[in-house]
Structure 1
């Protein structure tokens, strides 16, 4: 009898819905204090997960959910860069 593997679930900080970890994008605060999009999901640092939709990023920005999850303030330029990278990944 085979064991079935559990798929790890994570909550999107924007829409607050649970999804498979591989479906979400990880935003990481590196030990150097830089906020980056982590496509591999393995980069060092504090992470938060977002759906790969611009609406979820806008919701997280409006509610300051990403800032709370990463425990740091995030400048507007970083949000713009994350949005551009998300659009690049979606294509």
Structure 2
């Protein structure tokens, strides 16, 4: 099967979609959530620089044509801290 490539909304890097976090604006409810749901999607690298730029410049909101709640950004920062903590423990 052909691999699925996506582009980060911050750094514009193209990679397999499994390498990114997916943020979705759900079709019916227009709510913004992480990882699952049918609707408009945006992808972002799990890196500090990409998350900072996305939040500061409202790249997620513009890409999804929706208001991104502050709680979603908090969840992404927590997820980033966890993944950084795990990768530093494994090395």
- The TM-score bracket by the shorter chain reads 0.7 to 0.9
Residues 86/37 of structure 1: CA separation in 2 closer, same or farther (3 Å cut) = farther
SS at match of 2:49: helix
Question: Is the aligned partner of 1:20 residue 2:26?
Answer: no
Structure with higher RCO (Cα < 8 A, 6+ apart)? 1
Show structure 2 runs of 5+ residues with no match.
87-91
Q: State the superposition RMSD in angstroms.
A: 1.8
Show structure 1 runs of 5+ residues with no match.
none
- Residue equivalent to 2:6: 10
* Cα distance in structure 1, aligned partners of 2:6 and 2:76: 19
Alignment of 1:3-82 (within 5 A): 5-30=1-26, 31-38=28-35, 43-82=37-76
Q: Give the TM-score taking structure 2 as reference length.
A: 0.75
Deviation at 1:55, TM superposition (A): 1.9
